[in-house]
Structure 1
């Protein structure tokens, strides 16, 4: 870990990334790609130690309330957050200024901040986004070695649902010939149904590989799945979009189940929901004012 003083924290799309790099060790991590220009060792986490101060300034000067998101690039609840608590400090600032918040993680450690997210959700809107890739706990420990188990993530989804905080699940990635099976997807969908998730995001059945990411992914295939790298190279060469041969029927399966269970599905639809800010105080005041005319 090394600390830096960042010049800015809030992106044009109202996202924040407090950390650069990750401790979770997922073998497929796109953030390892060369295009993101992380100059330090990926596991040597760059910490934007002044993130709360920068966010305070940015939100205080913002004219319009909106949703603020974190976790798009680096998980805001990697293990070092337990010590640094920068994500929590940023959520406290978001709550104080009455903005909405959405956090994207693979860690049950987000439970430590459910109190703040509840307060945000009472004022405006808070959404928990959680990634699920496999129902097989042994496989989970291979492809996502340092994250919370799938069972713990599902328990967290249930706890947030019980706290009336909406949840969205990312079903991705599905690694061809590894976890791209109907049995796995059906098990994950069953978890989503029982956890009361509001929406599901799935870009397709497959994984993306770029320079930097691909090399690490292949090294881990050699380590854990002997012969699989050669199968990937033979099937996909150096393609960016590595699509599962089972893609179409499995995507249709997800769409059908979501339609039947009333789960929001489709990237455009779910992303629109995630970015849509709600001011519940305004709604309450509007409802109260309507009684004046009755």
Structure 2
């Protein structure tokens, strides 16, 4: 079976119907030749959000609340676990997820309202977890910068994860937050191969740009972590030790990894991507993934979904531990933690005078 190549700068050529749609459509050749554009423009629409702080109870992540300025992500990473969330907006997890984006235009006002509620108890907010807060449209929208300005004013701790060099635009805010132990940053680093990055994460920053982010942030006193996520069997897993070495040399003090996750519609999109770019090893890749997931493309159980099970998953975990020990990553004093005691809404600050 052959598949069409993605439009320029996109992760997929497909737009599968979302799982909530009442009807299904199927393309077929009716004999009428149509020209298919080799690119697709990004559309951005605004959402008036009622709430912007999302809560979770997952034991697999180190935070209980997050803020996501955008729905959908222009980076176009084929493996993105957030793709299925676009179905809630009657949009496809395929190319719609990369090109039909939603910006929470009132994010700043709602964030201030939620942080100012009586009885609010601060804990670190994870910024841009579902979709990247520094994806390309942030250059114009500036919602992430607005969120950081508010968090700084409220002295609220924040953790950022991104694969974009745009984060350096906000170095002024990040250094001020870091001086008060109010920020940490994770840079997602999946490969050192520019060509693999191009087809796997088409609009994300280059590997060298991400390493530069680590160097600059670290030099300015911002605690930095590297996330090797996801690790994909027979695609980028062989790079694990080199990724950790490069990140450590660039200033990372801590590290983490995640085994590829393929929930819901992502499995179909990922298999199509494999068949397009790696047809000679596609079957082997999926076989290893199923070995790690109890014979299935995905296992959603807490405690298992991030790491997997079985020989391959155990070997990957062992390699990660050995490399971190050798490189001095994840030491006892590597991550001092964020300070929640400084939290002070502006009204409380004024009452001190």
Of 79, 86, 104, 1:48 maps to 104
Of 148, 168, 178, 1:91 maps to 148
In structure 2, relative to structure 1, the CA distance for the partners of 1:112 and 1:95 (3 Å cut) is same
Secondary structure at 2:231's aligned position in 1? coil
Whether the 8 Å contact between 1:170 and 1:201 is mirrored in structure 2 is yes
Structure 1 or 2: more helix by fraction: 1
Of 238, 244, 266, 1:189 maps to 244
Tell me the distance in 2 between the aligned counterparts of 1:147 and 1:105. Answer: 9
Of 50, 56, 66, 1:7 maps to 50
Q: Which ranges of 4 or more aligned residues in structure 1 deviate by more than 4 Å? A: 232-235, 241-246, 278-282
Shift of 1:133: 0.9
Tell me the distance in 1 between the aligned counterparts of 2:77 and 2:287. Answer: 23
In structure 2, relative to structure 1, the CA distance for the partners of 1:196 and 1:230 (3 Å cut) is same
Tell me the distance in 2 between the aligned counterparts of 1:54 and 1:114. Answer: 24
Deviation string, structure 1 residues 212-249 (Cα, Å, up to 9, x no partner): 11111122112211244433455536420577964433
In structure 2, relative to structure 1, the CA distance for the partners of 1:84 and 1:219 (3 Å cut) is same
Partner of 1:174: 231
Structure 1 residue 149 and structure 2 residue 206: aligned?
yes
Partner of 2:172: 115
Unaligned stretches of 5+ residues in structure 1: 283-294
Larger radius of gyration: 2
Whether the 8 Å contact between 2:155 and 2:182 is mirrored in structure 1 is no
Tell me the distance in 2 between the aligned counterparts of 1:178 and 1:107. Answer: 22
Deviation string, structure 1 residues 240-266 (Cα, Å, up to 9, x no partner): 057796443332222123223332179
Whether the 8 Å contact between 2:155 and 2:343 is mirrored in structure 1 is no
Equivalent residue pairs, number: 274
TM-score (ref. length: structure 2): 0.71
Whether the 8 Å contact between 2:69 and 2:143 is mirrored in structure 1 is yes
Tell me the distance in 1 between the aligned counterparts of 2:262 and 2:158. Answer: 29
Partner of 1:212: 265
Structure 1 residue 32 and structure 2 residue 64: aligned?
no
Tell me the distance in 2 between the aligned counterparts of 1:238 and 1:252. Answer: 23
**What is the root-mean-square deviation in Å for CA atoms of aligned residues?**
2.7
TM-score (ref. length: structure 1): 0.84
Partner of 1:198: 253
